[in-house]
């Protein structure tokens, strides 16, 4: 196969859920495609058109949240819609300015208030974590395809999930679903030790090389089925899952320390998915808070992909 697949599968748009107890609206964009390699002009054009249509839709904007909140507002609050940053592909010489705009409008403007999260979101160069032929789209507040049916998450969702993990310097954090490594890099910039698992062999190889090249020495990578976690280094202070299983994997719950937090999207493929923050209260008690409706790629298990994608 050369380039993208002949019939790429797109899943794009916005999923918005009103939270019963948090009053927050969460928007997600997902673009999924098979294969990797150079992206066709048609696919790039379609991505831009889908983004433009989303930006023009009154339903597509995430509701901005007051800076004093932590990603939520009371249900009776009045909030203003924030413009989506960057309408055009970005020239490589303008990456720095584009990142500042993304943080201002798409991170702070969407309600992320933790100063440490805001700082690291403005530090990690997202274009280093997307395919070369998509680097001019890296600072759109959108998910982008990275090959093998996977995506790099929308920056706002990365910031939201990281904020809800509530990590401290020195914590041990397990990530299930390394992808291109962007989420792990954000966590590493917070001074935590990251243990990250990727089930797709080529992605695992690529991301290991990327971490070395970018100097992320506190990120430990593993090619394995993330359903079972990484028991050798448990318990973890926090666990983040970047693909959606249809249930929370019991081994991951078992590897969360008492007082630890897990952020995980849960839901069936093609159905409603919900982002959950789970806190371990005691040996067998967990508190669960919904963070809203989302759309993630499916949680892949060994044997569910062809041998040329997983090895």
How far is residue 283's CA from residue 292's CA, in Å, rounded to a whole number? Answer: 27
Residues counted in the chain:
311
Strand partners, 244: 298
- Residues 6 or more apart whose Cβ sits within 8 Å of residue 232: none
Q: Is 64 tagged catalytic?
A: no
d(CA 308, CA 69) in angstroms, rounded, equals 45
Instruction: Give 39's DSSP letter.
Output: P
3-state SS assignment for residue 98: helix
The count of other CB atoms within 10 Å of the CB of residue 83 is: 12
Alpha carbon separation from 174 to 120, 141, 170, 179, 253 (Å, rounded): 19, 25, 13, 14, 12
The catalytic position among 27, 72, 153, 208 is 153
3-class SS of residue 81:
strand
Cα separation, 28 vs 62, whole angstroms: 9
Alpha carbons 140 and 121: distance in angstroms, whole number: 13
Which are the catalytic amino acids? 153
């Amino acid at each position: 196969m050369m380039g993208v697949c002949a019939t790429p599968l797109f899943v794009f748009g916005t999923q918005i859920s009103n939270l019963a107890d948090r009053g927050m609206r969460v928007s997600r964009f997902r673009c999924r495609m098979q294969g990797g390699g150079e992206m066709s002009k048609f696919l790039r054009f379609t991505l831009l058109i889908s983004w433009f249509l989303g930006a023009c839709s009154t339903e597509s904007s995430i509701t901005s949240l007051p800076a004093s909140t932590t990603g939520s507002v009371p249900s009776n609050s009045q909030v203003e819609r924030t413009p989506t940053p960057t309408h055009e592909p970005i020239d490589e010489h303008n990456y720095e300015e584009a990142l500042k705009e993304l943080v201002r409008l798409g991170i702070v403007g969407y309600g992320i208030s933790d100063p440490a999260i805001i700082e690291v979101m403005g530090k990690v160069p997202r274009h280093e974590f997307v395919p070369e032929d998509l680097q001019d789209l890296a600072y759109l507040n959108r998910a982008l395809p990275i090959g093998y049916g996977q995506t790099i998450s929308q920056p706002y969702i990365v910031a939201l999930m990281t904020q809800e993990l509530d990590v401290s310097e020195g914590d041990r954090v397990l990530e299930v679903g390394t992808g291109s490594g962007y989420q792990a890099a954000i966590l590493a910039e917070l001074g935590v030790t990251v243990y990250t698992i990727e089930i797709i062999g080529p992605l695992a190889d690529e991301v290991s090389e990327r971490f070395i090249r970018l100097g992320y020495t506190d990120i430990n990578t593993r090619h394995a089925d993330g359903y079972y976690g990484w028991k050798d280094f448990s318990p973890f202070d926090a666990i983040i899952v970047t693909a959606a299983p249809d249930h929370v994997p019991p081994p991951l719950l078992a590897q969360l320390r008492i007082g630890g937090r897990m952020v995980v999207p849960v839901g069936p493929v093609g159905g409603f998915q919900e982002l959950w923050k789970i806190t371990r209260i005691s040996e067998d008690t967990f508190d669960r808070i919904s963070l809203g409706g989302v759309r993630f790629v499916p949680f892949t298990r060994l044997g569910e992909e062809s041998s040329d994608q997983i090895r």
